Structure 1
Amino acid sequence: MTAFNATFAEVVPVGTDFETASRRIAGLTAQGGTRLQPGLAAVLGSAPVRPDEVHVVAVICDGELSDADYAQCQTLVHAGRERGVRFIPVLIGDGVDAQAAWRQAFGSAVPCLDLSSLAATLKATLTALRRRTA
């Protein structure tokens, strides 16, 4: 898992046990100055290429991006889709107000009005995606 704001950092490496991952995720805080493109580029650049798997990138954001960042992300999303990557932007908090811009850049946006339902929202979205790609 990669966290992003003005910069990005891998917070939960692949293979991290559940308890450690939970602690690290619980320690995340909103810091403002969101710039997604560098983190998204890093995630896509390190994505495993396995023909028997579908790579899914979930972006959970509580705010808006700049117009330039949306445009750069849209370019990355287009290139990622050509490689079979699927994107799920989940908008929480004030991010819900920016659904139109997220839809334009990512092709979709999933609002999550109640933070306590974030896991259920992500699970339902992944389940729907699995049905469409099966």
Structure 2
Amino acid sequence: MAGGSLAPGQTGGGGAPPNQRKRKSPAPAAAAEDEAEAEVEELESEVADLDRRTLEHLRRTATRLPDAAFSRLASLRPPARLEVPVVSETSVAEDDQELEKVKILKSKIKANIADLPKVLEQINETVARCERFC
């Protein structure tokens, strides 16, 4: 087979036809595009994970913060007096009113802390809008 037959894909022209070179050049571009898309998807996944973890942290903090605040305030309270004052009916009524005020304040603080994730989301949206205009 001195004259030899050509291998599949070969032409008698002695070199690769120009159209084969054209087919190879889009392949790296497509691979780079696929790689970029994969990287974008990975980054989006990471952002979603960070967002989920941030919201979980805020929810956990929202439940612990009022208790920690009241505990800290209780520890800062001056020590009780050794002498026992005379208790009258009016002081018991005043104590009940004061206790009711503290309970209302505690419930308001818990409600405000529970709204923190919503506030954070609104802040992020506002910042994003500002960044679009800048």
| Larger strand fraction of residues | 1
Comparing both chains, which one has the higher relative contact order based on Cα–Cα distances under 8 Å and sequence gaps of 6 or more?
Answer: 2
Place the TM-score, normalised by the shorter chain, in its bin: under 0.3
Larger helix proportion of the pair? 2
TM-score with structure 2 length normalisation?
A: 0.23
The higher radius of gyration belongs to 2
